[in-house]
Structure 1
Amino acid sequence: MTAHHRTSHVARGFAGALAAAILVCGAAAAGPALADPAALPTSATDAIAQMVDLSRQAEALNQESLTAQTELDAALGVQHEADGKLAAATAVADAARAEVRKFQPMIDRAAVAAYTGARTDRMFAVLSSNSPQQLLDKMSTLDVLSQQTAASVREFKKAADVATAAESAARAAADTARAATTAAETFRAEVDRKRQDLGVATTQVVEAWGALSAHDKSTLAGSPFPPGFDRDSLLAGLVPGSGTSALAAALTRVGDPYVWGATGPDQFDCSGLVQWAFKQVGKNVPRTSSAQAGFGTPVAKSDLQPGDVVLFYPEISHVGIYAGNGMMVHASTFGVPVAVAPIDTTPYHSARRY
């Protein structure tokens, strides 16, 4: 195939890929910037550049999808907790209502007696007694009945108050559970949408990559290490510690493929590599690049040390581990294995020290 025909074939592949990217990403106002559909590749260099741009858009969607999944997991946790509280509150309310029902017959009898004019006071005992002994017996009986009735009324009121409070708590728990379910359903829909967007975008990236020649694919992949970079010397000079040890772990994965959503042990996306590397030294860091940007402590670019986490792009859609001398190890993008590269080739955002 001539260079002209190869370029035309690549251009056709990218035309479809770019059109799909517009359909996918254009719906998300907060999504990454779009490639210009009119700027179809006219050379292998342009094709690779647009391939990288499409891949970055897909990577940003990947991170958004992961963030949405994290939010869904949190929402499901809240929903589970709310459902548990609702079940507990309902059980308390049921028990309180059962306690009220236990006292209800006696309260009902007292109410009926009062309504029908039953005389249960001491004056009635005096008037209706035929002897002092009968009077004493009646008064004693009335005292006992009065005490029992008063105690029953007190217990009934106490049980009724508990039931009212329990039912109020159950209603509040039900409202909370409904809100938690609604939030979880909202996040679930967002996750599904992000996954669909990512699926279309990654399919187009793979198709565009397939349109590249073997030479162009090799050019895109590049070298795992920049000229003059000596991994062995770097590793020998690292001071033991969580950051530098995580860097050492990440350097052992150089050459492994980039895969959206992968967290190792032999394929990674950008935040997956960072998470995996720190996990090897006992640190549990967040899954997404945006969440990793809030972990640890901030570090100025001028104070970067090997093992610091470096973050890129305004939306923080990419992340790597600083390797010293302006270099980082990162899982770059589709078609490019885990590699060491200069940090200045990617729009710098910030850095954190774990």
Structure 2
Amino acid sequence: MPSKKMKRSLCTAVAAGVLSLTVAGLPAASAGADPVVNNATQALERLADLSRESERTTEALHNAQIDLDGKQAAQRDAEARLAADRAAVADAQSRMDQFRPTVSKLVAASYQGARTNRLFAVMVSDSPQQLLDQMSALDAISSETARAVAQFKQATTDAESAENASRASADAARSATEQARSVSDGLQSKQSDLQKQIDEVTKAFDRLTGAERAQLAGATFPPGVDAGSILANLAPGSGSAALEAGLTQVGKPYSWGATGPDAYDCSGLVVWAFKQIGKSLPRSSQAQAQAGTPVDRSQLQPGDVVIFYDDASHVGIYAGNGNVLHASTYGTPVKVDSMASMPFNTARRY
């Protein structure tokens, strides 16, 4: 759930405008729903709670999809290896068939009393040349047969071993895919439940005046800061270029699961900004917290990706002077905010 600091910050921003909203002006909750929201301040707090939890769920959904995609790719690779190993077995069997006539003749000759060793060649030879011819033939038969058998055994052993291993990998990959899909389905169900709760609360906000909604949204930049002042202090770099791209989206609305260009969630904005400079970042805030190069908070530079909360469920782009560009939460647009209102987790440089 959100920190008390976050809730106080959100509530303070709209207190003057929303305290005039009366109980009679709010819709009643349905039977079995959450407790009735009986004033605008409670509505704001409830929405803040639901939005924070919903963002956690959204980012977890993104992370589950990344996991699912990885497991499905592993499954495809395992099945491709399995097909290759089966082809290797078939090739080995084909090569065995090539040498089978030689082996069969040798076996038949031995069964019928033929002698295929050098002593027998000496005993039945009528001349030195015949001896050499017979010994050469015996050597050829022995060598060819031994080679055929050895090649077949080695190829068959290797291919069958690879096939068994690959089959096990394919089975494991399929099992992992099913597990990942189950996780994703569960999170989507939770997200659906949260959306229903959010819908109940947002009905109250539909009654706010335009001025009250503007007060809720707040300023898109901290006092004394604007896009021009941020851009004037940027040093060349890929992160700086991503921040510059992201600043063009200030004012766009927040929407769960959105990646622009009309609306964004937190990780969606970061993905979009870096995509504009040709860099592909992971889709979830948790994955973004694991990639890139770690950066100490004291060494932050504009354009670094900053992750917040213990579960790494919120992310933005550092804008300098302790500020961050982010798609913050429901009801507020993409903006530049002070980082002080959110618990710092880690930072990454891409």
1:13/1:207 contact within 8 Å kept: no
C-alpha distance in 2 between matches for 1:118 and 1:241: 83
1:167 to 2:163 alignment: no
SS in 1 for 2:281: coil
TM-score by length of 1: 0.81
1:330 to 326, 331, 337: 326
SS in 1 for 2:83: helix
Q: 2:313 aligns with which of 304, 317, 336?
A: 317
User: Once the two structures are superposed, what CA deviation does each residue of 1:216-265 show, in whole Å capped at 9, x if it has no partner?
Assistant: 65444333233433332332333332223222221110111112222222
Q: Distance in 2 between matches of 1:259 and 1:247?
A: 20
Residue 191 (structure 1) aligned with residue 187 (structure 2) = no
Q: Report what 2:201 is aligned to.
A: 208
Q: Which residue of 1 aligns with 2:242?
A: 246
- By how many angstroms is 1:294 displaced? 2.2
User: Would you say 1:284 and 2:303 are equivalent positions?
Assistant: no
Structure 2: how far apart are the matches of 1:199 and 1:334?
16
- Deviations 1:174-197 (Å, cap 9, x if unpaired)? 222222222222212222222232
Partner of 1:86: 82
CA apart distance, 1:210: 2.6
Question: SS of 1:211's equivalent?
Answer: helix
Choose the corresponding residue for 1:3, options 19, 22, 28. 22
Report if aligned partners of 1:13, 1:208 keep a CA contact under 8 Å in 2. no
CA contact (8 A) 2:308 2:342 kept: yes
Distance 1:111 1:324, change over 3 A: same
Give yes or no for contact 1:209–1:217 (8 Å, CA) kept in 2. no
1:177 maps to what in 2?
A: 170
Q: Which amino acid aligns with 2:242?
A: A
Aligned residue in 1 for 2:148: 156
Q: 1:122 to 1:72 in 2, by over 3 A?
A: closer
1:342 aligns with 2:338: yes
Aligned to 1:296: 292
The verdict on how the C-alpha distance between 1:289 and 1:124 changes in structure 2, with shifts beyond 3 A counting, is closer
- How far is the alpha carbon of 1:136 from its aligned partner? 6.6
Q: Give the deviation of 1:329 after TM superposition.
A: 1.5
- Are the equivalent residues in 2 in contact too, given 1:14–1:41 (CA < 8 A)? no
Q: Verify: 1:146 aligned to 2:133, yes or no.
A: no
- Number of residue pairs matched by the alignment: 327
Secondary structure of the corresponding residue to residue 111 of structure 2 = helix
Find the residue that maps to 2:324 and give its secondary structure: strand
Aligned to 1:233: 229
SS at match of 2:290: coil
Could you tell me which amino acid in structure 2 is paired with residue 102 of structure 1?
Q
- What SS is found at the alignment partner of 2:325? strand
Q: Tell me the TM-score normalised to structure 2 length.
A: 0.82
Cα distance in 2, alignment partners of residues 52 and 62 from structure 1: 15
Distance 1:209 1:118, change over 3 A: same
Judged with a 3 Å threshold, the aligned counterparts in structure 2 of structure 1 residues 127 and 277 are, in CA distance, closer, same or farther, namely closer
The CA distance in 2 between the partners of 1:240 and 1:166, in whole Å, is 54
- Matches of 2:294 and 2:262, distance apart in 1: 29
How much identity, in percent, do the aligned residues show? 42
Asked if the contact 1:96–1:159 (Cα under 8 Å) also holds between the matched residues in 2, the reply is: yes
Cα distance in 1 for partners of 2:147, 2:68 equals: 46
Measured in 2, the distance between the counterparts of 1:54 and 1:173 equals 45
C-alpha distance in 1, partners of 2:53/2:308?
13
Give the superposition deviation at 1:128: 7.4
**Equivalent position of 1:259 in the other structure:** 255
Q: Give the secondary structure class of the aligned counterpart of 1:258.
A: coil
* AA in 2 matched with 1:174: R
Tell me which amino acid in the other structure corresponds to 1:143: M
Q: Check if 1:305 corresponds to 2:301.
A: yes
- Determine if contact 1:314/1:349 at 8 Å carries over to the other structure: yes
- Pairwise CA distance, 1:206: 3.1
1:2 shift after superposition: 7.1
Shift of 1:66: 0.5
* Aligned counterpart, 1:46: 42
- Report deviation, 1:4: 1.6
Cα distance in 2, alignment partners of residues 125 and 329 from structure 1? 92
Partner of 1:29: none
* Counterpart Cα distance in 2 of 1:64 and 1:121: 74
2:25 corresponds to which letter in structure 1? R
Residues 321, 329 of structure 1: 8 Å contact kept = yes
1:95, distance to aligned residue in structure 2 (A): 0.4
Q: CA deviation at 1:46?
A: 1.4
